[in-house]
């Protein structure tokens, strides 16, 4: 495990938060949850049929001594969760609706986070991103002033740590979306002890090309500066002008970034998704995420192709988000 995650693990251990894993019968989830519990890093809750979870653990040779197993169908506090769900949905769900929806493991797990039984949730090993994010948007909701959640990756190589976003959620963000993503990505950077220097990316640097696409990024930069006047942020930038000091000196000599950006906001989902995968596969960066940001409480989405280490690491990140508020 990298030094970054060793540091995160040490910080999380001090707080020993509770993290909920709705996909309790998936072997990768169970193996990671057992490891987290046995290492005394955090208190894992796995959701699922008690019989099925224990059978899976037995088949895998795992002890669940340090793991809490909750079966929604016989949870003692189910009625309380139903009442809280109905109140939260404000007329959009009846008690009957709530009882049906809370048998869905993602909705049930998200409610445990909402009522304070857990500090965060990790799902997506079996379920789609939509299945993971939808309950979070309906129950936990976004922070005040944030209209949409967004997904970032922490890109790590040696001592270099970069934030790339949005690489997971918003297909065609407008200027407001980009500005919001920039602000919350800077907050995410601080969680990882990165002093944020934010570059708003485009195919143009400081007016070298003009189009509706570049104007969108220019406007997003203006809005972000209004929202967070103390944040070091600039745009529009091509990647090299944001990241390479010698290029920045030629293309944007008056920018506060000075070619030292460490938070990169892509103008569209396709650019962000392609960009992080190129850095991962050709640049040999470790891509950690997607980390969902902008929510009131942390919910994070795994890839369905994840392995046990991916689950373990994303649980650490979720726990760190939870203890850092």
Distance CA 21, CA 315 (A): 9
Q: Please, are residues 162 and 198 in contact by the beta-carbon 8 Å criterion? A: no
C-alpha torsion angle, residues 233, 239, 241, 245 (rounded to 10): 90
3-state secondary structure of 290: strand
Strand partners of residue 292: 151
DSSP line for 199-256: EEE-S-STTSS-SHHHHHHHHHHHHHHHH-TTSEEEEEE-HHHHH-HHHHHHH-TT-T
pLDDT given at position 1: 67
pLDDT given at position 303: 82
For tokens 């997971």, name the residue.
Answer: 168
Burial (CB count within 10 angstroms: exposed 0-12, middle 13-18, buried 19+), residue 75: middle
What residues have CB less than 8 Å from 221, skipping those under 6 apart? Answer: 179, 200, 233, 234, 235, 236
Domains and CATH numbers, the chain: 3-141+297-323 (3.40.50.10950), 150-286 (3.40.50.10750)
Distance CA 20, CA 22 (A): 6
In order along its 325 residues, the chain shows pLDDT tens digits of 677 888 889 999 999 999 999 999 999 999 999 999 999 999 999 999 999 999 999 999 999 999 999 999 999 999 999 999 999 998 888 999 999 999 999 999 999 999 999 999 999 999 988 899 899 999 999 988 888 899 999 999 988 999 999 998 999 999 999 999 999 999 999 988 899 999 999 999 998 999 999 999 999 999 999 999 999 999 999 999 999 999 999 999 999 999 999 999 999 999 999 999 999 999 999 888 788 999 999 999 988 888 999 899 999 999 999 887 6
Neighbour count for residue 219 (Cβ, 10 Å)? 18
Q: What are phi and psi of 268, to 5 degrees?
A: -155, 165
* C-alpha dist (Å) from residue 108 to 20, 24, 182, 235: 10, 12, 31, 42
3-state secondary structure of 291: strand
Which pTM does this prediction carry?
Answer: 0.86
Question: Which value, in Å, is the radius of gyration of the alpha carbons in the chain?
Answer: 21
Q: Please, are residues 175 and 267 in contact by the beta-carbon 8 Å criterion? A: no
pLDDT digits (tens, 9 = 90+) for 159-206: 899 999 999 899 999 999 999 999 999 999 998 889 999 999 999 999
Distance CA 264, CA 164 (A): 5
Structure tokens at 245: 């000091």
How far does CA 145 lie from the centroid of its chain?
A: 18
pLDDT digits (tens, 9 = 90+) for 197-244: 999 999 999 989 999 999 999 999 999 999 999 999 999 999 999 999
């Amino acid at each position: 495990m990298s030094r970054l995650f060793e540091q995160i693990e040490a910080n999380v251990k001090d707080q020993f938060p509770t993290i909920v894993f709705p996909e309790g019968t998936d072997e990768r989830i169970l193996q990671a949850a057992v490891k987290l519990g046995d290492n005394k890093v955090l208190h894992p809750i796995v959701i699922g049929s008690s019989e099925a979870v224990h059978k899976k653990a037995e088949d895998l040779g795992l002890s669940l001594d340090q793991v809490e197993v909750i079966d929604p169908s016989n949870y003692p506090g189910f009625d309380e969760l139903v009442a809280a769900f109905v109140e939260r949905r404000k007329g959009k769900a009846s008690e009957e609706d709530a009882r049906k929806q809370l048998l869905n493991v993602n909705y049930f797990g998200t409610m445990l986070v909402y009522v304070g039984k857990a500090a965060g949730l990790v799902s997506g090993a079996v379920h789609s991103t939509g299945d993971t994010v939808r309950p979070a948007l309906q129950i936990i909701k976004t922070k005040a002033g944030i209209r949409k959640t967004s997904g970032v990756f922490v890109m790590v190589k040696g001592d270099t740590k970069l934030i790339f976003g949005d690489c997971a959620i918003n297909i065609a963000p407008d200027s407001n979306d980009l500005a919001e993503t920039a602000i919350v990505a800077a907050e995410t950077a601080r969680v990882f002890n990165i002093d944020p220097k934010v570059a708003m990316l485009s195919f143009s640097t400081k007016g070298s090309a003009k189009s509706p696409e570049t104007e969108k990024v220019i406007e997003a930069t203006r809005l972000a500066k209004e929202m967070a006047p103390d944040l070091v942020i600039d745009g529009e930038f091509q990647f090299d002008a944001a990241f390479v000091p010698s290029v920045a000196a030629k293309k944007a000599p008056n920018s506060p970034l000075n070619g030292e950006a460490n938070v990169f906001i892509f103008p569209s989902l396709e650019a962000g998704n392609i960009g992080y995968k190129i850095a991962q596969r050709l640049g040999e960066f470790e891509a950690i995420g997607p980390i969902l940001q902008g929510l009131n409480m942390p919910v994070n989405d795994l890839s369905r192709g994840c392995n046990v280490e991916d689950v373990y690491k994303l649980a650490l990140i979720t726990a760190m988000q939870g203890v850092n508020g």
